[in-house]
Amino acid sequence: MTEAEARELDATDPGHRDLFDVPPAQGGDYPEVAYFAGNSLGLRPRATRDELLEDLDAWAALGVEGHLDAERPWLPYHELLTGPASRLIGAQPNETVVMNSLTVNLHLLMVSFYRPTPSRHRIVIEDSAFPSDSYAVRSQAGFHGYDADDAIIRLRPRPGEDSLRTADVVEQLGDDVALVLLGGVNYLTGELMDIATITKAGHAAGAIVGWDLAHAAGNVPLSLHDWGVDFAAWCSYKYLNSGPGALAGAFVHERHLDAELPRFEGWWSTEAATRFEMTPECRPPASADAWQVSNPPIFSMSPVRTSLEIFDKIGIGALRERSLRLTSYLEKLLSDVTIGRVITPADPARRGAQLSLRVDGMRAGELARRLRFGYGVIADAREPDVLRLAPVPLYSTYHDCWRAASALAQVVPA
């Protein structure tokens, strides 16, 4: 496929690149980078700066009175994020809260949902889970007095394969499993897991089923409420474009909201209506807000709110459709390049906006460096040999895909 054909596709299927600040290229023939690292850190929406400054200016103008008198009052500010976040993940507003960071949220949720017993204490996780998930579940098992090497079941693909099969996951869900905690989209391979089927199977086995949606939220449509997921957490700096280290989100299914679950509590865990009665007993609301601990950081919430408004306006369904087209186009381009092997599932229904390449003859970090400085293409490297390319439907273009494939054809040894 030619550069002109890529330009024609962009004219008929343009995306929303104009809403984002695209970094300048440090190499190559084009002024802007071809950015494929949105699965690591999304680009900044252009509206973010001005809207964050508006919130900062309210502090300067109002001081403490900004809690009630700001244009976007700080006291209920977190509620501005609840509706759009719940719509993005297919949940009810009372099941959704934006707070903390991803791994902090996983720990707070596991306080409630990982309740091991001698006969049922094992945790199922994928072997290629992001390391922080492995750290979290191992520390939880150890905290409860179990040997992490024994308690953690690490799922591996079949020999010669790169992705997990749903049937093989289900097969591991025995009566000794207390918790299933998998990535909705695997960070390394880009595989989209069958969340509905695995959740149903986990419940049939008597286990709690939670999901890390770091690479799924804002990437693929989700229906957490209808699928019956017990809990989930996600970050918002990847596909949700809320900035480095941005606030994360958490989901708790409504059937658990009135349950007498153990939970860590703090200032923001109590119901808003009686918060300033200053009593020593917490009165948690029957919502995911009960898992909040601390006062929400307004200036960290501001970029998340800006980003969620973009998703609310465009719709994750429309973005998914463009993602399928864009990723398939990149896949076709890569099939004509001698680059090694794509380890992402070939079935579009089993992947998000990502193609992972296992490259022969060069370390991934060195390949990413050459692409960036020689061709203005930014991709994400996972050593020793995996290069991750994420054509994000909000701002990536067909021409970006053409640039990436053309650059790989020149850089990777034949």
The verdict on 218 and 119 lying in the same domain is: yes
What integer pLDDT is reported at residue 27 of this predicted model?
86
Q: Is 96 within 8 Å of 251 (Cβ atoms)? A: yes
Tell me: do 118 and 178 sit in the same domain. Answer: yes
Q: 299 and 191 in one domain? A: yes
DSSP string for 170-183: HHT--TTEEEEEEE
Q: Are residues 309 and 321 in the same domain?
A: no
Q: Which residues contact 245 (CB under 8 A, 6 or more apart)?
A: 101, 237
Question: Has residue 197 been placed in a domain?
Answer: yes
Q: Is 56 within the bounds of a domain?
A: no
The reply to whether 236 and 362 lie within a common domain is: no
Lateral strand order in the sheet of 355-358? 341-342, 355-358, 386-389, 380-382
Domain at 90, CATH number: 3.40.640.10
Q: What is the pLDDT of residue 251?
A: 98
Q: Please check whether residues 191 and 335 belong to one and the same domain.
A: no
Q: Assign 3-class secondary structure to 71-100.
A: CCCCCCCCHHHHHHHHHHHCCCHHHEEEEC
Same domain for 294 and 171, yes or no, is yes
Say if residue 163 is in the same domain as residue 237.
yes
Residue 49 lies in a domain: no
313, 347, 377 - which closes a domain: 313
Which stretches in the chain have pLDDT values below 70?
A: 413-414
Q: Are residues 17 and 128 in the same domain?
A: no
Give a yes or no: residue 57 inside a domain: no
Which domain covers residue 105, as residue numbers? Answer: 76-313
Structure confidence at residue 414 (pLDDT) = 55
Predicted pLDDT at 28:
87
Q: Look up the CATH number of the domain holding residue 393.
A: 3.90.1150.10
Q: Residue 277, class by beta-carbon neighbours within 10 Å (0-12 exposed, 13-18 middle, 19+ buried)?
A: exposed
d(C-alpha 21, C-alpha 50), whole Å = 13
Helix, strand, coil % (nearest 5) of the chain?
45, 15, 40
Exposure of 192 by Cβ count < 10 A (0-12 exposed, 13-18 middle, 19+ buried)?
Answer: buried
Are the beta carbons of 86 and 252 closer than 8 angstroms? no
Residues 321 and 308 grouped into a single domain: no
Residues 180-189: tens digit of each pLDDT: 999 999 999 9
Question: Looking at 313, 336, 369, which one is the last position of a domain?
Answer: 313
pLDDT of residue 340: 78
What letter does residue 36 receive in the DSSP assignment?
-
If one counts the domains in the chain, the total is 2
Statement to judge: residues 225 and 260 lie in one domain: yes
**Does 26 lie in the same domain as 8?**
yes
pLDDT at 62: 98
Q: Which two tokens stand for residue 220?
A: 């693929």
